[in-house]
Amino acid sequence: MHRLKIFTFLTVSFLLVSNGIAQQKILLSKAKIHVGNGKVINQGLVGIDGEEIVLVENALTFTYDKTAWDTIIDLKGQELYPGFIAPNSTLGLTEVDAVRATRDFNEVGVFNPHVRSQIAFNAESEINTTVKTNGVLYTQTTPQGGIISGTSSLMKLEAWNWEDATLKKDDGIHLNWPSTTKGGGWWAEPAPKKINDKYTEDVIKIRNFFEAALAYSESDDLYDARFEAMRAVFTGTKRVYFHANELRALTDIIDFKREFSIQYPVIIGGYEAYKIADQLIDAEIPIIIKGGHTLPTNEDDPVDLPYRLPALLQEAGILFCIQNSGRMETMNTRNIPFLAGTAMAYGLSEEQAISAVSLNTAKIMGVDQIAGSIEVGKKATLFASKGSALDMRTNELTLGMIHGKFIQLTNLQTKLYEKYKEKYKSK
């Protein structure tokens, strides 16, 4: 006899920890679905078979056979989202910023395209658990330092080890483009910024390295680990992530991209990208922009410019997503949803803000065929929240999945909260 299991969100926590239930075909019912591509289904159905989404329909108009599903979970009154993605992150590469032994993201050397963050990813990081409970389920684990820091990979945040965690390995190299200025900053006021006299010299070093790597890629006579890692850049299977913010740097990157026929360039930062939107669109360069919880960079910038940048890029038609690099970026990865919420308060619509931390990110990284939205054929990486996931007051997850598997929604903080809630309840 077919035994159908129907659960409400109050019993989902049992599902997450039970080893006695073998979920194969699961139906998530009646949630408000934020698809991730701009569409919303107010009362939707999401069917999951193994790792994949096999059904996305409107519950009010679609008739289905209940016996076709092993488990039905009633999420009425809740909101369902695709798993959010944290790009350009040291998550999984560091545990305690103040303890050097746990910081595995900065290698010795200047040009290190052969350094692979994938194999250094710590699937058992305690920080990962705090990030998942806010809906961030993928991360682009990214090295730092030098001119070319290394090669990033896209990872799942629940896995047995780095092999199991890998969604896309070696997706691109990270190049720290030199700054055109030096000095300045709020801590140095009133000292103004100065021109970086070594800018041209530093760009020439990058160009020389790329010329040598291009020549190497056209020959099989020698073996060099650094140049071997660059080969896929010229064949069009690996991205180049240019870390840059200033206007001149951005325009020079556009020229550099054309000079070396880089097929998949991406700019990380792009603070002044809105000023040259047409050129970036013509060059097909997307932006991974820093979230708005920061101060303006230039002395004469509007005070709210960092908060409005996502809306400016959206209005200009540039493909962009949101990241949170900066001080304490690993632990602050959990704030990715709230950076999107801030962008929503400064001009983005709710669905545009959701796309900026889900489908847009997947498109930029080349994994939008399997991740980034709740659509048929994609991996079942999603979560349900009692309220808006972009608001820290209402982001309260009741269910989470990565590739069709339920994930734990507890961390050290939630455990301590429950522990001391019981302690003081008795008094």
pLDDT at 13: 43
Give the model's pLDDT for residue 2.
Answer: 45
Half-sphere exposure of 147 (CA within 13 A, CB side): 16
Residue 134 in this model has a pLDDT that exceeds 70 = yes
Max mean pLDDT among 14-23, 86-95, 325-334 falls in 86-95
pLDDT band at 321 (very low <50, low <70, confident <90, very high): very high
CA distances from 417 to 76, 134, 332, 420 (A): 27, 16, 20, 5
Q: Name which of 70, 69, 54 is nearest 22 in CA terms.
A: 70
Q: What is the pLDDT of residue 426?
A: 61
Q: How confident is the model at residue 19 (pLDDT cuts 50, 70, 90)?
A: very low
What residue has token string 């010795």? 108
Residue type, 273: A
3 — pLDDT class (breaks 50, 70, 90)? very low
Read off φ and ψ for residue 354, nearest 5 degrees.
-65, -45
pLDDT band at 21 (very low <50, low <70, confident <90, very high): very low
Residue 108 has pLDDT above 50, yes or no: yes
Beta pairing, strands 52-58 & 40-49: antiparallel
The CA-based angle 391-245-274, given to 5 degrees, is 70
Single-letter amino acid code for the residue at 263: Q
- Each residue of 65-87: b (16+ CB within 10 Å) or e? eeeebbbbbbbeebbbbbbbbbb
Q: Which of 5-14, 41-50, 179-188, 235-244 has the lowest mean pLDDT?
A: 5-14
pLDDT digits (tens, 9 = 90+) for 194-230: 888 899 999 999 999 999 999 999 888 788 999 999 9
- pLDDT of 16 higher than 50: no
Per-residue pLDDT averaged across 23-42, rounded? 93
Mean pLDDT score, 253-258: 97
Q: Letter for the amino acid at 230?
A: M
**Which comes out higher in pLDDT, residue 336 or 9?**
336
Print the SS3 string covering the chain: CCCCEEEEHHHHHHHHHCCCCCCCEEEEEEEEEECCCCCEEEEEEEEEECCEEEEEEECCCCCCCHHHCCEEEECCCCEEEECEEEEEECECCECCCCCHHHECCECCCCECCCCECHHHCCCCCHHHHHHHCCCEEEEEECCECCCEEEEEEEEECCCCCHHHHEEEEEEEEEEECCCCEECCCHHHCCCCCEECCCHHHHHHHHHHHHHHHHHHHCCCCCCCHHHHHHHHHHHCCCEEEEEECCHHHHHHHHHHHHHCCCCCEEEEECCCHHHHHHHHHHCCCCEEEECCCCCCCCCCCCCCHHHHHHHHHHHHCCCEEEECCCCCCCHHHHHHHHHHHHHHHCCCCHHHHHHCCCHHHHHHHCCCCCCCCCCCCCECCEEEECCCCCCCCCCCEEEEEECCEECCCCCHHHHHHHHHHHHHHCC
**pLDDT of 12:** 47
- Domain residue spans in the chain? 5-82+385-425, 84-370
> Would you say residue 278 has pLDDT above 80?
yes
Question: Side chain identity at 329, as an amino acid letter?
Answer: E
The predicted structure's pLDDT at residue 220: 80
Rounded to the nearest integer, the mean pLDDT of the chain is: 89
Residue 127 has pLDDT above 80, yes or no: yes
Q: Is the pLDDT of residue 190 over 60?
A: no
Structure tokens at 317: 């038609």
Instruction: Indicate whether 423 pLDDT > 70.
Output: yes
Q: Do domains 5-82+385-425 and 84-370 have the same CATH topology?
A: no
State the pLDDT at residue 394: 95
Euclidean distance between CA atoms 46 and 37, whole angstroms: 15
The pLDDT > 70 percentage for the chain reads 90
Q: How far apart are CA 27 and CA 336, in angstroms?
A: 28
User: 5-82+385-425: CATH homologous superfamily?
Assistant: Urease, subunit C, domain 1 (2.30.40.10)
Pairwise CA distance, residues 257 & 223, whole Å: 25
Q: Which of the four pLDDT bands, split at 50, 70 and 90, describes residue 7?
A: low
Q: How far apart are CA 176 and CA 422, in angstroms?
A: 50
What is the structure's pLDDT at 291?
86
pLDDT at 300 over 70: yes
- Residue entry with tokens 């047995």: 160
Q: What pLDDT shows up at residue 5?
A: 52
| CATH class given for the domain over 84-370 | alpha beta
Q: Is the pLDDT of residue 11 over 50?
A: no
Mean pLDDT of 276-303: 92
Give 243 or 7, the one with higher predicted confidence: 243
pLDDT at 14: 41
pLDDT tens, residue by residue, 352-384: 999 999 999 999 999 999 999 999 999 999 999
What percent of the chain is predicted at pLDDT more than 90?
70
Of 288, 175, 321, nearest to 241 (Cα)?
175
Which of 233-237, 405-409, 414-418, 423-427 has the least mean pLDDT?
423-427
pTM for the full model?
0.90
Whether pLDDT at 191 is above 90: no
pLDDT-based confidence at 9, cuts 50/70/90?
very low
